[in-house]
């Protein structure tokens, strides 16, 4: 099984790639949507800004949405989770639109949220073996799904409760960074690889 790790051209994807490979999946880093959508699964990483990522997405937005709606396994991390939605306060440009809703700036005194935070998880198999979960965050924006039944985990920051993870079919989004979240994060990645149909 080979997963596409999409490169928005914004930063280092090494740790995430290594985390996925450690879970037993081959990884192809690419900025070519034709290549990405032709592989077995898609990972939208958490590096970059919404506007730049939206521009990278624009030529293939409909194809990406159709592929995910059609069952292509996907994991969106931080910014990657936000791209699954319609748009963001961060900048102009559209997301994939797989999930109806918008991304807004965290209404807190200290932004961005940087560091470890508790994650209140559901029984979704993405979180098998990681209860309780404490994960690493680096975010200034959070997602607001119209359909709250898509939310599969929550976190709280400065008294503000926000979705920590969402799911739509075979697509998962996590606001935290599993590749920076020690053993629990590695287990989340391994669970996703297994759910996507590969790995150990």
By annotation, the residues acting in catalysis are: 78, 177, 179
Name the residue among 129, 172, 122, 131 with its Cα closest to residue 152: 122
Residues 30 and 19 sit within 8 Å (Cβ to Cβ): no
What's the predicted TM-score (pTM) here? 0.96
List pLDDT tens digits, range 178-199: 999 999 999 999 999 999 996 4
The C-alpha angle with vertex 26 and arms to 23 and 30, in degrees rounded to 5, equals 125
- Residues of the chain short of pLDDT 70, as ranges, are 198-200
Q: What pLDDT is recorded for position 198?
A: 62
Strands in 133-139's sheet, in edge-to-edge order, are 26-30, 2-6, 41-44, 74-77, 171-174, 160-168, 151-157, 113-121, 133-139
- Domains, the chain, in order of start with CATH, read 2-196 (3.40.50.880)
77: Cβ–Cβ under 8 A, 6 or more apart, which residues? Answer: 16, 43, 44, 45, 46, 173, 174, 176, 177, 178, 179
Q: What pLDDT is recorded for position 142?
A: 98
Q: What pLDDT is recorded for position 200?
A: 40
Strand partners of residue 118 = 134
Q: Measured between alpha carbons, how far is 197 from 182 in angstroms, rounded to an integer?
A: 23
């Amino acid at each position: 099984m080979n997963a596409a790790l999409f490169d928005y051209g914004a930063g280092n994807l090494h740790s995430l790639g290594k985390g996925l490979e450690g879970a037993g999946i081959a990884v192809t880093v690419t900025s070519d949507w034709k290549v990405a959508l032709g592989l077995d699964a898609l990972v939208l990483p958490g590096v970059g800004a919404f506007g730049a990522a939206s521009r990278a997405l624009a030529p293939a937005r409909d194809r990406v949405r159709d592929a995910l709606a059609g069952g292509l396994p996907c994991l969106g991390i931080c910014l990657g989770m936000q791209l699954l939605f319609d748009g963001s306060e961060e900048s102009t440009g559209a997301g994939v639109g797989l999930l109806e809703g918008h991304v807004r700036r965290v209404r807190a005194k200290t932004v961005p949220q940087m560091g470890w935070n508790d994650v209140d998880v559901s029984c979704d198999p993405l979180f098998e073996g990681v209860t309780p979960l404490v994960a690493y965050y680096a975010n200034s924006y959070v997602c607001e799904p119209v359909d709250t039944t898509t939310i599969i985990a929550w976190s709280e920051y400065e008294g503000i409760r926000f979705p920590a993870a969402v799911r739509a079919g075979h697509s998962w989004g996590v606001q935290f960074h599993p590749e920076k979240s020690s053993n629990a994060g590695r287990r989340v990645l391994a669970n996703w690889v297994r759910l996507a149909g590969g790995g150990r």
